[in-house]
Amino acid sequence: MTQTALIIDCDPGVDDAIALLLAFAAPDLLELLAITTVGGNVAASATARNARIIRQMAGREDVPVHIGAAAPLAREPIAASHFHGESGLGDLPIFEPVAPAASSDSATAIVELVMSRPPGSVSLAITGPMTNVALAMQREPALAARLGPVAVMGGARAEGGNITASAEYNIYADPHAADIVFRSGCKPTVLGLDATHQVRATPQRVAAMAAIDAPYAQTAAQVLQFCARTQQALVGWDSPPLHDPCTIAWMLAPQLFKSVPARLQVETDSPLTAGHTAVEFRLSDPSEATAQWVTEADGEGVFNLLLERLAR
Ligand code: RIB
Ligand code: CA
């Protein structure tokens, strides 16, 4: 398999951190062009610092980290530190990384990287609110058509919401940005809660990760143990879903997932349902599809991929 040139737009975030570790552990398959961070789970300054911390722990200072939008396009910021800890990285050690962030902001980096490379050659994984990507698309109207495969962690259909009754966090945090991206024609593969809830960090899987004597695996195990404690306390789950790593797993092993064409629209204004993703499978013509909605995920296969890669 040839290398995929990839930008990861994220808001680390404990599950973003594991997604980054998985990507860092696949240099044979992924040419990581940049990590572009955004305010979301915690403030933009913290998500950028956190991405730099994970980058330093992984020894991958070759990958630039950019600082992104501090606030959504229109609504007030809403953090998720209750799930991610005050730092955003659970109970991992927090320090000022040696290598600084890159000088350009996230949206600028996305535009420059995509527009300077051949059409379709740059893939994009989005694991946080889509503010940076929407800003990039507004700045460069040709961006959406030039992108390669796009994987989005966001939205919900059958599963209902996780931040409100009807909305998943990444879409709820910036529904206007999500609306721009979903209308852009980039036709993303969307891994919503319907997919990510099929990929759980069960106690057995976390124990298997903790048993691997390798730095990436040990870091991931500590994060997963934090997630398990937090989710047990907050929602009564002993097996937290692995949301963001699913986007990287899809880039590396798409055969682990099944998706269907859908017309995906976002509610942007209703006080009751803002951030809701209306995922319509009833299309009179395939050309109506604006996304591929992931309906099935091989949870065991995704976790085995994670174990195998983080053991290296
Ligand atoms: O709903 C799950 C998403 O919200 C994940 O990206 C997690 O990091 C949080 O941002
Ligand atoms: Ca995230």
The bound ligand whose nearest atom lies closest to the alpha carbon of 80 is 1
- d(Cα 129, Cα 142) in Å, to the nearest integer? 21
Q: What is the CATH number of the domain that holds 149?
A: 3.90.245.10
Q: How many distinct structural domains can be found in the chain?
A: 1
Q: How far apart are the first and last CA of the chain?
A: 19
Query: Of 114, 170, 121, which Cα lies nearest the Cα of 148?
Result: 121
Q: For residue 244, how far is its CA from the centre of ligand 2 (angstroms)?
A: 6
> What's the whole-model pTM score?
0.98
User: Residue 218: what pLDDT?
Assistant: 97
- Residue 85 belongs to what domain range? 4-310
Q: For residue 128, how far is its CA from the centre of ligand 1 (angstroms)?
A: 6
Asked if 244 contacts 19 with a C-beta cutoff of 8 angstroms, the reply is yes
User: Residue 1: what pLDDT?
Assistant: 63
- For residue 33, what are its two tokens? 């062009």
User: Of 10, 226, 244, which is best to mutate to test ligand 1, by the most ligand atoms within 8 angstroms of its C-beta?
Assistant: 244
| pLDDT mean values, one per 10 residues, the chain (312 residues) | 92 98 98 98 98 97 98 95 92 97 98 98 98 98 98 96 97 98 98 98 97 96 96 90 98 98 97 97 95 98 98 94
Buried (b) or exposed (e) across 105-132, using 16+ Cβ within 10 A? bbbbbbbebbeeeeeeebbbbbbbbbbb
Other C-beta atoms lying within 10 Å of the C-beta of residue 185: 11
Asked if 187 contacts 150 with a C-beta cutoff of 8 angstroms, the reply is yes
User: Residue 198: what pLDDT?
Assistant: 98
User: Residue 276: what pLDDT?
Assistant: 98
In the residue annotation, 243 being an active-site residue is answered as yes
Q: How many residues does the chain have?
A: 312
Neighbours of ion ligand 2 (CB under 5 A): 11, 13, 16, 127-128, 244
DSSP 303: H
